[in-house]
């Protein structure tokens, strides 16, 4: 279980725009080569640098960066992306048959010997800390964390310690993204939102996952509890609006805007959310939410701007939700909720290396599960329809 992430300044975000993902190589048209017949050997590392001695098969010619990516792809520790190889070439750390390579795009005939000196990761100011993390999936390329509410993803103002990033570095001190000693998180969740968080462990996985977020092919679903019902039970309400920062409060965002012509016009971006009401009882609705875009606080703003703020979401008008409810089982469990009622419980995407679809789920934690159960149970109890005849 290893990780990866992006530097961020604001640690209190919901799913963040893909534009904020740190792509170390904006060129996403990587050439895929047949791995058959290609082999690589790794020499022993020096203290300062890790040395890779690679033999290019006679039938394995092509661009230097593409060939190296293929040769090193079998071993996670040795894996180099095209962008990383380009950096090493620029630093004079790559030799072809003893001659320093000057371009990552140089063509190889086949049969060459490559000598690559990989420096240790650049030092980081991030402090490794033993932060408890729960993993629902893990392999050499990526992992998925079930983040609890209250845990910040990355250090920022007021949250210098105890974050997901700190915990990742503690568990995997040798992790590098783009030659830097740092974790690389593909997207983010707000501090008080619980649920699934994707983490890339190498440059190739980061680029592959980021491309899926950019192409909006990642299926992300949430469960939430809000005041009032956004629509009839079972019906899908599609909310398509503009999205930008609020004028009166820099912490908030507004969706009381018409959708832009295209993905973005000026500071206004397209925001698309589908909401299905699962059950309603005692003034509280359980809703299933699918994101088609990933704007900051998108779910929270979309529901609040339509008069249905999330329970206990003080920033968007849902604070003190329990005081607005009639006495009963729902109010009792809402009183115990200390954060916004939002959980990222489902994600489905293509594995960036294998191309196989991964579909992962995480049940809501007890604070939210108790509310859902109270609402669903209460909604299922038939109500009297009139006076009973004797």
DSSP 65-79: HHHHHHHTTTSGGG-
Residue 38 has pLDDT above 70, yes or no: no
Extract the tokens encoding 44.
């022993």
Residue-averaged pLDDT of the chain: 82
Are 355 and 234 found together in one domain? Answer: yes
Residue 31 has pLDDT above 50, yes or no: no
Are 266 and 192 found together in one domain? Answer: no
Beta pairing partners, 212: none
pLDDT per residue as tens digits for the range 322-348 = 999 999 999 999 999 999 999 999 999
Residue 46 has pLDDT above 70, yes or no: no
Are 82 and 228 found together in one domain? Answer: no
Residue 223 has pLDDT above 80, yes or no: yes
Span 221-245, mean pLDDT?
Answer: 96
Are 199 and 249 found together in one domain? Answer: no
Taking a C-beta distance cutoff of 8 angstroms, is the pair 289, 273 a contact?
yes
Are 95 and 132 found together in one domain? Answer: no
Are 67 and 150 found together in one domain? Answer: no
pLDDT per residue as tens digits for the range 116-171 = 998 876 666 778 899 999 999 999 889 999 999 999 998 877 788 899 989 988 88
Q: Catalogue the active-site residues.
A: 190
Residue 9 has what pLDDT? 29
Q: Is residue 188 part of a domain?
A: yes
Residue 34 has pLDDT above 70, yes or no: no
Residue 76 has what pLDDT? 58
Are 142 and 242 found together in one domain? Answer: no
Residue 370 has pLDDT above 50, yes or no: yes
Q: Which domain holds residue 60?
A: 49-118
Torsion sign (Cα): 340, 341, 342, 345: positive
Q: Strand 284-291 to strand 219-227: parallel, antiparallel, or no bridges (unpaired)?
A: antiparallel
Are 269 and 334 found together in one domain? Answer: yes
Q: Is residue 387 part of a domain?
A: no
Domain of residue 79, CATH code? 3.10.290.10
Q: Is residue 185 part of a domain?
A: yes
Last residue of a domain, one of 198, 215, 232: 215
Distances from the Cα of 369 to the Cα of 81, 223, 224, 227, 377, angstroms = 42, 10, 10, 16, 12
Residue 203 is inside which H or E element, if any? Answer: helix 203-214
Taking a C-beta distance cutoff of 8 angstroms, is the pair 178, 84 a contact?
yes
Residue 113 has pLDDT above 70, yes or no: yes
Residue 33 has pLDDT above 50, yes or no: no
Residue 40 has what pLDDT? 31
Beta-sheet strands, E only, within the chain: 41-42, 50-55, 62-63, 94-96, 99-100, 107-108, 113-118, 135-138, 142-147, 184-185, 194-200, 219-227, 236-245, 253-254, 264-265, 268-281, 284-291, 342-350, 357-361
Are 96 and 236 found together in one domain? Answer: no
CA-CA-CA-CA torsion for 64, 67, 70, 75, nearest 10 degrees? -60
Taking a C-beta distance cutoff of 8 angstroms, is the pair 255, 243 a contact?
yes
Extract the tokens encoding 172.
């995997």
Q: Is residue 153 part of a domain?
A: yes
Last residue of a domain, one of 118, 143, 158: 118
Between 26 and 15, where is the model more confident? 15
| End-to-end alpha carbon distance in the chain | 67
Q: Give SS3 for 6.
A: coil
Residue 236 has pLDDT above 80, yes or no: yes
Span 163-188, mean pLDDT?
Answer: 81
Distances from the Cα of 266 to the Cα of 132, 242, 254, 282, 298, angstroms = 41, 11, 15, 42, 18
Cα angle, residue 159 at apex, residues 16 and 148 outer, rounded to 5°? 65
Q: Give SS3 for 222.
A: strand
Are 221 and 203 found together in one domain? Answer: no
Query: How crowded is residue 208: how many other Cβ atoms within 10 Å of its Cβ?
Result: 22
Are 211 and 221 found together in one domain? Answer: no
Helix axes 203-214, 82-90, angle to 10 degrees: 130
Q: Is residue 17 part of a domain?
A: yes
- % of the chain with per-residue pLDDT over 70: 82
Number of structural domains, the chain? 3
Residue 50 has what pLDDT? 81
- % of the chain with per-residue pLDDT over 90: 54
List of residues 6+ apart from 379 with CB closer than 8 A: 233, 279, 280, 281
Residue 21 has what pLDDT? 33
Q: What is the DSSP letter of 189?
A: -
Domain of residue 374, CATH code? 3.30.2350.10
pLDDT per residue as tens digits for the range 281-330 = 999 999 999 999 999 999 999 999 999 999 999 999 999 999 999 999 99
Of 48-62, 216-230, 352-366, the poorest mean pLDDT is in 48-62
Residue 357 has what pLDDT? 97
Taking a C-beta distance cutoff of 8 angstroms, is the pair 212, 157 a contact?
no
């Amino acid at each position: 279980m290893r990780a990866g992430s992006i530097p961020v300044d604001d640690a209190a975000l919901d799913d963040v725009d893909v534009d904020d993902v740190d792509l170390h190589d904006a060129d996403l048209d990587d050439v895929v080569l047949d791995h058959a017949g290609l082999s690589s050997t790794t020499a022993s590392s020096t203290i300062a640098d890790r040395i890779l001695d690679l033999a290019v098969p006679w039938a394995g010619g092509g661009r230097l960066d593409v060939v190296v990516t293929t040769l090193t792809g079998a071993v996670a520790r040795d894996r180099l992306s095209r962008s990383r190889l380009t950096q090493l070439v620029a630093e004079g750390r790559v030799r072809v048959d003893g001659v320093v390579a000057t371009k990552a795009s140089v063509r190889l005939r086949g049969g060459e010997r490559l000598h690559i000196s990989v420096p240790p990761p650049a030092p980081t100011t991030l402090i490794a800390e033993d932060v408890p993390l729960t993993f629902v999936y893990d392999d050499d390329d990526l992992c998925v964390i079930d983040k609890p509410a209250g845990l910040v993803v990355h250090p920022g103002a007021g949250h210098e310690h105890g974050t997901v990033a700190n915990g990742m570095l503690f568990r995997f001190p040798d992790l590098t993204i783009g030659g830097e000693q740092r974790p690389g998180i593909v997207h983010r969740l707000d501090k008080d939102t619980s649920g699934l968080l994707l983490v890339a462990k190498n440059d190739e996985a980061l680029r592959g996952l980021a491309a899926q977020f950019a192409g909006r092919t990642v299926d992300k679903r949430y469960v939430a509890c809000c005041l009032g019902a956004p629509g009839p039970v079972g019906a899908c309400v599609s909310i398509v609006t503009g999205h930008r920062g609020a004028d009166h409060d820099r912490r908030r965002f507004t969706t009381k805007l018409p959708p832009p012509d295209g993905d973005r016009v000026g500071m206004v971006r397209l925001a698309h959310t589908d909401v299905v009401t699962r059950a309603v009882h005692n003034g509280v609705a359980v809703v299933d939410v699918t994101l088609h875009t990933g704007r900051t606080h998108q779910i929270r703003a979309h529901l609040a701007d339509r008069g249905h703020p999330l329970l206990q979401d003080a920033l968007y008008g849902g604070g003190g939700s329990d005081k607005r409810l009639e006495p009963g089982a729902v109010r009792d469990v809402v009183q115990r909720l200390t954060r916004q009622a939002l959980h990222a419980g489902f994600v489905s995407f293509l594995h960036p290396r294998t191309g196989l679809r991964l579909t992962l789920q995480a049940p809501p934690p007890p604070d939210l599960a108790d509310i859902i159960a109270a609402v669903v149970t209460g909604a299922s109890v038939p109500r009297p329809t009139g006076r009973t005849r004797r």
